[in-house]
Amino acid sequence: MRVFIGIDLPEDVKQNIVNLQRKLPRLNAKLVEPENLHICLKFLGEVEENKIEKIKKVIDEATEIYEKFDVEFDGIGFFPNKNYIRVIFLEISKGKEILCSLADIIDEKLSNEGFEREKRDFVPHITLARVKSKVSKEDVEKLENLKLHSIFRVDKIKLFSSRLTPRGPIYSVIYEKGLR
């Protein structure tokens, strides 16, 4: 089963993001579907069914440490960078430190359970689109000028399954646990 740990977004925030996605310049890119918009804390990939309980335990332990908190975003960012764009995302400003700490705790606790540690630094974000070809300088400028200011309360962490289909992934919540 293909899984990840993440934070779901409220429906009104998803709708605001969809409205922003409509303002993106015409690119050779695949937009993230509204129902799939989220903040990923840890992508685990293919996991054997018998390890799901260990992941739930880690989520339980992490949610006992953290209280509900606010996340705010406004600017656009790019992975790996603006000269070679493969992912367009919303940058998170407020709540960034808590998200980084939460992702690190989850990563550490999962490594104690036999899962591989993350090799890259965690960058909290919300993916808007995956780019398939080079983006012109003009389009990069247009993207950099886009803004969407939004704030929402994070009150739970979820374990999602991700089933790949020809039309794209379908996410389902396997488990969720509220923060303190």
Catalytic residues: 38, 125
CA 165 to chain centre: 19
Nearest alpha-carbon partner for 36 in 119, 107, 105, 130? 130
Nearest alpha-carbon partner for 88 in 32, 169, 43? 32
Sequence-ordered list of residues with C-beta below 8 angstroms from that of 3, at least 6 positions apart, any chain: 44, 45, 47, 52, 55, 159, 160, 161, 162, 174
**Helical H runs in 50-152?**
52-65, 96-112, 137-145
Rg (CA), the chain: 16
Residue 13, token pair as written in the block? 């925030």
Give the orientation angle of helix 96-112 with respect to helix 52-65, to 10 degrees: 140
